[in-house]
């Protein structure tokens, strides 16, 4: 029996090139190219999403919503306290001007009890494997909340890599197909256009994700039924992981999504306030 593919792409364009270079398996379903199921199932055709990915994944409509949403999230937590950097005798980075001026406390450090830099967190969104009853609005809310988290923790010195994860398992004996797409490298600022498509457009799952299953000899069987289900095993691979969405619960509104993401970050040892104090 063939073992399911394990693929890591450095960009949406690289993902599109791989799909273009591989034919659908003869026995596979073709749901990735099905039309007429409505905008909530997927607002774009297969050809439209592939063209978008080939050009880097920029989705203007989603980018506008993502930028506006992150701004709204900042307004919701106005006056909320964040971990603060202070000068200290010991710390994670030198305060060069202070050192040259002879200041004794010439290292930058976090206030006691705040986050540490012992680990660079890798933030992953399992948005590509949400269930059929998850709405695009809930997906967008989660995407906005996660990007708000990235802004908050990078503001205090963390660097974050953001991966899209599509891990799919089934009952066909092929095992778990594991796919990673890097949306943001740790040294880069997040690009709202490409991030928005990957985390909040149903096409990422139902066009590109399904196309990968249709091209993998080990996963042909699951394309003849429900196309498998999401697998959360990847949580062990990351400093912070957001798992398979099984519905809208916890992400019905932006406020709810911020609270959910804040709680999930705390579970992984990252204490940061995304919601307004007392909310």
**DSSP characters over 80-107:** -----EEEESS-SEE-HHHHHTT-S--E
Is 244 part of a structural domain of the chain? yes
SS3 8: strand
Tell me: pLDDT of 46 over 80.
yes
Q: Which tens digit of pLDDT belongs to each residue from 222-255?
A: 998 889 888 888 888 887 888 888 889 999 999 9
Whether the CB-CB separation of 261 and 240 falls below 8 Å is answered with no
Task: Give me the pLDDT at residue 112, please.
Answer: 41
Distance, in Å, from the CA atom of 120 to the CA atom of 240, rounded to the nearest integer, reads 10
Is 273 part of a structural domain of the chain? no
Element (H, E) at 268: none
What is the tally of structural domains in the chain?
A: 1
Q: Which tens digit of pLDDT belongs to each residue from 114-165?
A: 444 444 545 555 555 677 788 888 888 988 998 888 888 777 777 788 899 9
Is 272 part of a structural domain of the chain? no
Half-sphere exposure of 187 (CA within 13 A, CB side): 0
Tell me: pLDDT of 101 over 70.
no
Is 87 part of a structural domain of the chain? no
Task: Give me the pLDDT at residue 116, please.
Answer: 41
164: CB partners within 8 A, 6+ apart: 124, 125, 127, 128, 180, 181, 182, 183, 198, 199, 204
Mean pLDDT over all residues of the chain? 81
pTM of the predicted structure, to 2 decimals: 0.79
Q: Nearest Cα to 81, choosing from 124, 114, 46, 37? A: 114
Is 108 part of a structural domain of the chain? no
Q: Which residue has the tokens 């249709």?
A: 214
Is 95 part of a structural domain of the chain? no
Is 58 part of a structural domain of the chain? yes
Residue range of the domain that includes 35: 6-80+115-267
Is 90 part of a structural domain of the chain? no
Alpha-carbon Rg for the chain in angstroms: 20
141: CB partners within 8 A, 6+ apart: 69, 251, 252, 253, 254, 256, 257
């Amino acid at each position: 029996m063939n073992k399911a593919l394990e693929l890591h792409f450095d960009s949406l364009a690289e993902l599109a090139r791989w799909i273009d270079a591989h034919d659908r398996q003869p026995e596979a379903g073709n749901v990735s190219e099905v039309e007429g199921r409505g905008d909530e199932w997927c607002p774009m055709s297969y050809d439209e999403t592939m063209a978008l990915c080939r050009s880097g994944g920029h989705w203007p409509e989603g980018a506008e919503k993502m930028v506006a949403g992150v701004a709204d999230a900042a307004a919701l937590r106005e006056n909320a306290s964040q971990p603060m950097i202070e000068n200290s005798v010991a710390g994670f980075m030198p305060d060069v001007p202070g050192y040259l001026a002879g200041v004794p406390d010439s290292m930058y450090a976090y206030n006691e009890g705040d986050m540490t830099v012992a680990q660079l967190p890798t933030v992953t969104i399992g948005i590509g494997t949400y269930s059929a009853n998850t709405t695009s609005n809930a997906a967008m809310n989660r995407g906005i909340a996660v990007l708000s988290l990235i802004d908050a923790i990078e503001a205090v010195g963390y660097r974050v890599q953001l991966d899209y994860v599509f891990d799919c398992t089934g009952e066909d004996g092929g095992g778990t197909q594991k796919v990673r797409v890097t949306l943001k490298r740790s040294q880069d600022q997040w690009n709202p256009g490409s991030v928005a498509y990957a985390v909040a457009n149903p096409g990422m799952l139902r066009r590109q994700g399904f196309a990968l299953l249709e091209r993998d000899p080990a996963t042909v069987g699951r394309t003849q039924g429900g196309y498998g289900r999401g697998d959360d095993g990847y949580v062990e691979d990351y400093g912070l992981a957001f798992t398979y969405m099984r519905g809208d619960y916890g992400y019905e509104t932006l406020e709810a999504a911020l609270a959910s993401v804040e709680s999930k970050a705390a579970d992984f040892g990252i204490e940061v306030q995304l919601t307004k104090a007392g909310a």
